């Protein structure tokens, strides 16, 4: 049965290419990328679960989050995993980047892997910024007031940026829904696309060795 | 350390990886399922006595419709729902209260004065004055409420 399927699907080859590829002798810092990927997976799963109850309107956002946290079975756990996972993802992605810089792993032939990684970090920060507003509490509200205000500081175009981010002059229901849409549709699609490219390149090129003294 | 170990390092690490992965999967999967089905398993609200109105309004032999508002907590929203209850009496002393919700698929039945029967418009169900099924698909008679009369006021037990 397994052989019959594999003759048609060739999944074992893919499995071997992903998990049984040869790697140089490296240290634990080389697990930071995998750790980031793991947390990203956690964010996707818990994030999907949160949308089952969360409602992105000023009327219901705060109450639905409170409902998740205090009423729904294991809701505190799911929200907690998403909340702390968000911080962990930024920290791990940044640590992964520092490791790549420190070991010079961004050099030829891995420049494109590096670029995709830089965009992945930006997307992660974008997730953090848009997700921060969604609980619609005082902290969320004022952090987004400040954040959008900072985005509005460039001369000439600043005011347009601020208005586009807020969906108008004020922070409102329009802001909440566009942050929500960005957080659950735009950014996840970009993230999954870029992770695919990033992983394809890691598997295709292989990971870099720890640099030696003489390098 | 010269003898060949029965479990190689490679096999052990492979096994450990699957075991830890399985534990993490369970650690996320079980709460996830509980989280999804949790609200569905919650049995709502205790029943309480609700005042319908004056018993003297009920004519003998004619089902009379009473409406009462109850507060229901659904998720994080508290809203008022209107309950419609038919009260009937044969002698002015003993009362019976019936829900107006059809036992077939939950549409609302109404009392047809001319025919002396309850009708459900959805699938042409017919119930008699006591709520028994006369015609159509309902599986059981109209649901009854426990009813009590205190100082000419009707009370039913519900939620």
> Is B34 in contact with A63 (Cβ distance < 8 A)?
no
Nearest CA-CA distance, residue A157 and chain B, Å: 41
DSSP B20-41: HHHHHHHHHHHHHHHHHHHHHH
Separation CA A133–CA A63 (nearest Å): 14
Does the distance separating the beta carbons of A72 and B38 come in below 8 Å? yes
A16 alpha-carbon distance from chain centroid: 27
> Residue B139, Cα to own-chain centre: how many angstroms?
16
Q: Name the residue ranges covered by the structural domains of chain A.
A: 24-205
Q: Are residues B76 and A81, on separate chains, in Cβ contact within 8 Å? A: no
The predicted structure's pLDDT at residue B46: 67
Q: What is the mean pLDDT of residues A190-214?
A: 93
Spatial contact of B66 and B53, defined as CB atoms under 8 Å apart? yes
* pLDDT the model gives residue A167: 96
Indicate yes or no: CB of B28 within 8 angstroms of CB of A71: no
Which residues are paired to B154 by β-bridges? B53, B149
How far, in Å, are A145, A146, A162, B61 from residue A153 at the CA level?
13, 11, 8, 78
Question: Residue A41: what are its φ and ψ, rounded to 5°?
Answer: -60, -45
pLDDT tens readout for residues A112-124: 999 999 999 999 9
Tens digit of each residue's pLDDT (9 = 90 or more) over B106-157? 999 999 999 999 999 999 999 999 999 999 999 999 999 999 999 889 999 8
B7 close contact with A: CB closer than 8 A: no
**pLDDT surpassing 90 at residue A213:** no
Q: Is B10 on the interface with A (CB under 8 A)?
A: no
- Cross-chain CB nearest to B76 (options A45, A49, A67): A67
| A 55-74 residues with CB < 8 A to B | 60, 63-64, 66-67, 71-74
CA torsion through residues A56, A61, A66, A71, sign? negative
Q: Do B38 and A81 make contact, defined as CB atoms within 8 angstroms?
A: no
For chain B, where are the E strands, in sequence order? 48-54, 64-74, 77-89, 95-99, 110-112, 117-120, 125-127, 133-135, 144-150, 153-158
Q: Is B77 on the interface with A (CB under 8 A)?
A: yes
Q: Does B14 touch chain A (CB under 8 A)?
A: no
Q: Architecture of domain A24-205 in CATH?
A: Up-down Bundle (1.20)
Does B35 contact A45 at a Cβ distance shorter than 8 Å? no
The yes or no reply on domain B48-158 and CATH 3.40.50.300 is no
Least confident stretch, A6-20, A63-77, B70-84: B70-84
ipTM: 0.89
Nearest CA to CA, how far is B77 from chain A (Å)? 8
Q: Return the DSSP state at A214.
A: T
């Amino acid at each position: 049965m397994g052989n019959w399927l594999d003759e048609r699907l060739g999944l074992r080859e893919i499995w071997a290419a992903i998990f049984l590829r040869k790697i140089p002798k490296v240290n634990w810092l080389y697990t930071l990328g995998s750790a980031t990927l793991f947390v990203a997976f956690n964010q996707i799963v818990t994030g999907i679960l949160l949308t089952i109850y969360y409602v992105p309107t000023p009327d219901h956002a705060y109450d639905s989050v409170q409902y998740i946290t205090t009423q729904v079975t294991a809701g505190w756990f799911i929200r907690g995993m998403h909340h702390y996972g968000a911080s962990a993802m930024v920290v791990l992605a940044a640590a992964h980047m520092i490791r790549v810089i420190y070991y010079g792993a961004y050099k030829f032939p891995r420049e494109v892997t590096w670029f995709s990684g830089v965009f992945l970090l930006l997307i992660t920060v974008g997730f953090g910024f848009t997700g921060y507003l969604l609980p619609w509490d005082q902290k969320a509200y004022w952090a987004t007031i400040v954040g959008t205000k900072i985005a509005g500081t460039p001369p000439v175009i600043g005011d347009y940026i601020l208005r586009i981010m807020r969906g108008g002059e004020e922070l409102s229901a329009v802001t909440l829904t566009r942050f929500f849409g960005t957080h659950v549709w735009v950014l996840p699609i970009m993230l999954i696309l870029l992770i695919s490219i990033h992983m394809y390149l890691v598997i295709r090129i292989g990971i870099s060795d720890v640099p030696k003294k003489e390098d | 350390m010269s003898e060949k170990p029965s479990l190689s390092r490679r096999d052990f690490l492979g096994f450990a990886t699957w075991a830890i992965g399985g534990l993490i999967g369970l650690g996320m999967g079980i709460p996830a399922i509980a989280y999804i089905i949790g609200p569905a398993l919650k049995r709502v609200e205790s029943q309480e006595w609700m005042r319908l109105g004056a018993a003297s309004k009920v004519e003998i032999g004619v089902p009379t419709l009473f409406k009462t508002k109850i507060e229901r907590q659904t998720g994080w929203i508290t809203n008022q729902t209107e309950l419609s209850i038919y009260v009937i009496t044969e002698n002015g002393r003993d009362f019976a209260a019936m829900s107006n919700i059809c036992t077939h698929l939950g549409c609302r039945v109404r009392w047809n004065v001319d025919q002396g029967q309850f009708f459900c418009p959805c699938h042409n169900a017919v119930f008699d004055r006591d709520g028994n099924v006369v015609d159509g698909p309902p599986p059981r008679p109209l649901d009854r409420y426990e009813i009590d009369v205190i100082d000419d006021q009707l009370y039913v037990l519900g939620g």
